[in-house]
Chain A
Amino acid sequence: MLLAAINWHSFFFLFFALLACGFAVGVLVSSNIVRMAFYLVMSLSATAGLFFLAGAEFVGAMQLMIYVGGTMVLLIFGVMLTARERFINMQTPGGQWVLAAAAGGLFFFILVVNAFQVPDWNTPNPGQDQLAIAESKTTTQIGAAFVGVRLDRPEADNATQRAGMSGYLLPFEIVSVHLLVVLIGAAYLARAKRRVDQPES
C-alpha cells in the first residue's frame, strides 16, 4: 500500500519546511514591499506549522500571535508607505546583495555546523519507526517552569542541583517592565508637544 509506505511525519515536516523556505526566498526576490510582508507572513505561518507538527502547540500559537500578528503592523506600514512611488518597486543595489549574502551565509554556516553536532541526528536510531509523538501539554510545563518547577528535570533533589531551577518569572517580569518603559517612552516622545515658553504677544 502506497499510503502506508510514506512516513507522514517526515512528509509534513518537509512540506512545512519547504513552504517556509520558499516564501523566505520570495521575500528576498520580491520588490514590492507589501508582497514581501505577505510572503513573510506565509513563511512565519509555515514555521508555526512546524511547531504544531512537533507537538509544541503553545509555542506554535505564540508564533502565530506574536510573529505573524506583528508582521501585520509591518504590512500596514507597507501599505501606508507604498503610496510613494519610490517604494512600489524597491531595487536592491548590488553591494547590498553581497553584504547580505555574506551575513546570511555566515549564519547559515554556524547553524549547519551546530545542527550536525546534535548527537541524535548523527547516530542511527533503530526505534525510529516506532517513534510515537507524545501527547504534548506544553503549557503546563512552561507555566510550571516559570515559577521554578522544572517538570522535565524532577530528579534534581538537592539544593545544589536545584540552583539552576529558579524559574523564569523574574527575568520575565524584568523584560515586561522594560517593555512598559519602552511603551511609556514612545508615548512620551510621540505626544503633542506644547510650547510652554511662547512669547505672550
Chain B
Amino acid sequence: MGKAINQLLEAGYHWLAAWFVENPQALFPESCWSGYVLAALIQCALLLNVVAVGALLFIWMERKISGRIQDRLGPTRVGGRFGWLQTLADGLKLIAKEDLIPQDADAFLFRLAPYLGFAASFMALLALPFSNGWVGWEVNVSLFFILAVMGLEVFSPILAGYASGSKWALFGAIREAAQVVSYEVPMGMCVVVPVVLCGSMNLLTIGNAQAGLFTNWYIFHDPFTFCIFWIYFTCAIASVNRAPFDLAEAESELVAGFHTEYSGLRWSFFFMAEYGSMFAVSGLAAILFFGGWHGPFPIFYGSGVSGGEFGWWPMQLANAAGCFNFILKAVVGVTVMMWVRWTLPRLRIDQVITTCLKYCTPLAAGLFLGAVILKAVHFPSINDLAPAVRPGEVRESWVLSEAPAPVIEKGPVEKEHAQSEHARNLPPVVSKKQLAASPQTEGGSL
C-alpha cells in the first residue's frame, strides 16, 4: 500500500509542479518518501482506532452483557436506544475530571505508566494481520513478536503500582508480578502447537494454512489441539488481567489495585490498553486456532476470488470480507471473556498460581507432546477431510535439493511473495519454475 500511495502522490506532485516550472523533476525527484509517510500515518490511525474506538464498543458491550448476566438492562437512555453512547458520555466525564498526582508519587513514572501499557497493546496490534496481507507490519516471526510485546504490558501495572506511593497500588503491582511468572509459561507452550502444525511463526502463513472448509481449522486438527485451545484461552484471560484473574485490580480487596490513585484520562488509558490487548489475544486465538480471516465456508477462497483470479478489486473485496470474519471471531472471543468475568468469582493469588503453574503447565506440556507425536506419525486428522491447501504449499521451507540457497529467501509461500517481489523490483531470486507454479498470488502487504 505504501508503494501505491507513493506513486499516486508522486504523480500528483509532478502534475502540480508542471503548472509552475519547466522541469518538475527538479522540484520533486523520482524517489518521494511522502507516500510512505502517509501510508504509515494511515495505518497508525486505523490501528489507533481499533484500540480507542474498539474500547468504546467493548466497554458498552461489557455494560450490556454484565447487565444481562445480572438480570438487569444495563444502560438504556444515553444516545437513544440501547444506551450506545454511554461510553462516550463516560469519556467526556473522564476528560473533564481533575488530574490528580499524589504527594508521595514518583511523578515521572506515575505519568508514564499508563502510556507504557497502551503502547505495548498498540504494538501488538501492529503485527497482527486483520486479513490476508492486511497487516501493519509483516514480521517474519509475528507470533513471537506479539508475545514478546504483550509481555511488556506488565510494566504498566508494576510501575503504576510502585509510582503511586500507595500501599493498595503496591499490593496490586506485586500481585501482578506474581501472576506474570505463572501464566507466561503455559501460554507459550499452547501457542507453539499451531506453529509446529504449520511450520511457521508468521501469522499470515498460519492463517492461510487453514484456508477452506471449517474442518481445516487447527482447533479441529486433533483432540490435543482442541484441548490446548482452552488452556490458551485461560492463560490469555490471565494475561489481560480479567476476572477471575483480576488480582492486580481486585476492587473488593485493594480499592482499585494498581490504578487506585489514577483519575481522568490517564485512568482511561489503562482501560484502553486492557481492551486493546483483549482484542489482541482473542485475535491471536482466532488466527492460531479458528482459521483467522477464513470463514467457515470458503466462498471467496473456493471461487478463487481471494487468490486474485478475477483481478485486484475483487481480491480486496475478499480481503475485506476476511477482515470482517477476523474481527467477528475476535469479538466473539472478547465476549466470552466478558461472560467469564461476570460469571466466575475472583481467585486468590495462590489459586491463580496453582491454576497456571500446577495444572495448566503440565496439561499444556502433555497436550503439546501429544499433538507433536500425532503430527510426527502422520496420524489422520479432520484437517485431511477437505484439504484446501496442499501440504508444503504454505510451509516455510527451504528446498535443500535446490542449493545453493538464494540471496533472499523465497518466503513462506512462493505465491505469497511472488507478486510483492515484482512490485518491489527486487533482484529476481524466485526461480522461474516457482513463479510459473504459483497458482495464486496474494496481495502485497497493506
Rounded to whole angstroms, the CA-CA distance of A151 and B408 in the bound complex is: 11
- Taking a contact as CB atoms under 8 Å apart, the answer to whether A61 and B158 are in contact is no
Rounded to whole angstroms, the CA-CA distance of A22 and B396 in the bound complex is: 39
A159 at the interface (CB under 8 A from B): no
Give chain A nearest CB distance to B226 CB in angstroms. 27
Interface of A is mostly: helix
Which one of A3, A32, A61, A72 contacts B145 once the chains associate, using CB atoms below 8 Å?
A: A61
Which one of A60, A69, A132, A137 contacts B411 once the chains associate, using CB atoms below 8 Å?
A: A137
- Taking a contact as CB atoms under 8 Å apart, the answer to whether A154 and B32 are in contact is no
Residues of A within 8 A of B180 (CB): 72
Give chain A nearest CB distance to B137 CB in angstroms. 9
Interface size on B, residues (CB 8 A): 49
- Taking a contact as CB atoms under 8 Å apart, the answer to whether B409 and A137 are in contact is yes
- Taking a contact as CB atoms under 8 Å apart, the answer to whether B140 and A58 are in contact is yes
Give chain B nearest CB distance to A71 CB in angstroms. 9
- Taking a contact as CB atoms under 8 Å apart, the answer to whether A8 and B405 are in contact is no
- CB-based nearest B residue for A8: B33
Rounded to whole angstroms, the CA-CA distance of A96 and B147 in the bound complex is: 39
**A-B CB pair tally, cutoff 8 Å:** 114
- Taking a contact as CB atoms under 8 Å apart, the answer to whether B201 and A139 are in contact is yes
Rounded to whole angstroms, the CA-CA distance of A139 and B145 in the bound complex is: 12
Give chain A nearest CB distance to B87 CB in angstroms. 32
Give chain B nearest CB distance to A157 CB in angstroms. 9
One of B169-177, B230-238, B274-282, B292-300 at the interface: B169-177
Give chain B nearest CB distance to A43 CB in angstroms. 14
- CB-based nearest B residue for A66: B148
Residues from 394 to 409 in B contacting A, C-beta threshold 8 Å: 396, 398, 400, 403-405, 407-409
Residues of B within 8 A of A140 (CB): 396, 398, 409
B108 at the interface (CB under 8 A from A): yes
- On whether A69 and B33 interact (CB within 8 A), knowing A38-B109, A137-B396, A140-B398, the answer reads no
Against B, the Cβ 8 Å flags (1 = close, 0 = not) of A1-36 are 101101010000000000000000000000010110
- Taking a contact as CB atoms under 8 Å apart, the answer to whether B144 and A79 are in contact is no
- Taking a contact as CB atoms under 8 Å apart, the answer to whether A4 and B109 are in contact is no
Rounded to whole angstroms, the CA-CA distance of A69 and B184 in the bound complex is: 11
One of B57-65, B149-157, B313-321, B365-373 at the interface: B149-157
Rounded to whole angstroms, the CA-CA distance of A28 and B435 in the bound complex is: 55
Give chain A nearest CB distance to B444 CB in angstroms. 12
- Taking a contact as CB atoms under 8 Å apart, the answer to whether B33 and A6 are in contact is yes
- Taking a contact as CB atoms under 8 Å apart, the answer to whether B151 and A69 are in contact is yes
Rounded to whole angstroms, the CA-CA distance of A52 and B141 in the bound complex is: 11
B312 at the interface (CB under 8 A from A): no
A144 at the interface (CB under 8 A from B): yes
A166 at the interface (CB under 8 A from B): no
- Taking a contact as CB atoms under 8 Å apart, the answer to whether B108 and A144 are in contact is no
A138 at the interface (CB under 8 A from B): yes
- Taking a contact as CB atoms under 8 Å apart, the answer to whether A138 and B140 are in contact is yes
Residues of A within 8 A of B82 (CB): none
Interface of B is mostly: helix
- On whether A4 and B31 interact (CB within 8 A), knowing A58-B140, A140-B398, the answer reads yes
Interface size on A, residues (CB 8 A): 41
- Taking a contact as CB atoms under 8 Å apart, the answer to whether A3 and B32 are in contact is yes
- Taking a contact as CB atoms under 8 Å apart, the answer to whether B426 and A132 are in contact is yes
Which one of A41, A80, A134 contacts B407 once the chains associate, using CB atoms below 8 Å?
A: A134
Which one of B29, B34, B398, B408 contacts A134 once the chains associate, using CB atoms below 8 Å?
A: B408
Residues from 187 to 229 in B contacting A, C-beta threshold 8 Å: 201
- Taking a contact as CB atoms under 8 Å apart, the answer to whether A80 and B174 are in contact is yes
Give chain A nearest CB distance to B27 CB in angstroms. 7
Which one of A41, A79, A135, A144 contacts B408 once the chains associate, using CB atoms below 8 Å?
A: A135
B326 at the interface (CB under 8 A from A): no
Residues of B within 8 A of A62 (CB): 148
- Taking a contact as CB atoms under 8 Å apart, the answer to whether A65 and B147 are in contact is yes
B359 at the interface (CB under 8 A from A): no
B159 at the interface (CB under 8 A from A): yes
Interface centre among A32, A75, A141 (most CB of B within 10 A): A75
- Taking a contact as CB atoms under 8 Å apart, the answer to whether A64 and B109 are in contact is no
- Taking a contact as CB atoms under 8 Å apart, the answer to whether A38 and B145 are in contact is no
Binding site for A on B (CB under 8 A): 13, 27-29, 31-34, 37, 106, 108-109, 112, 139-141, 144-145, 147-149, 151-152, 154-155, 158-159, 161-163, 170, 173-174, 177, 180, 201, 396, 398, 400, 403-405, 407-409, 411, 417, 421, 426
User: 9 A-B contacts, Cβ less than 8 Å apart?
Assistant: A1-B13, A1-B32, A34-B106, A38-B112, A41-B155, A57-B141, A76-B177, A137-B396, A139-B141
7 nearest A-B pairs in the assembled complex, by CB-CB distance: A64-B148, A137-B409, A154-B404, A65-B148, A151-B405, A61-B145, A76-B177
Given A68-B152, A72-B177, A75-B155; 5 other pairs, CB 8 A cutoff: A61-B144, A134-B407, A135-B409, A138-B141, A152-B405
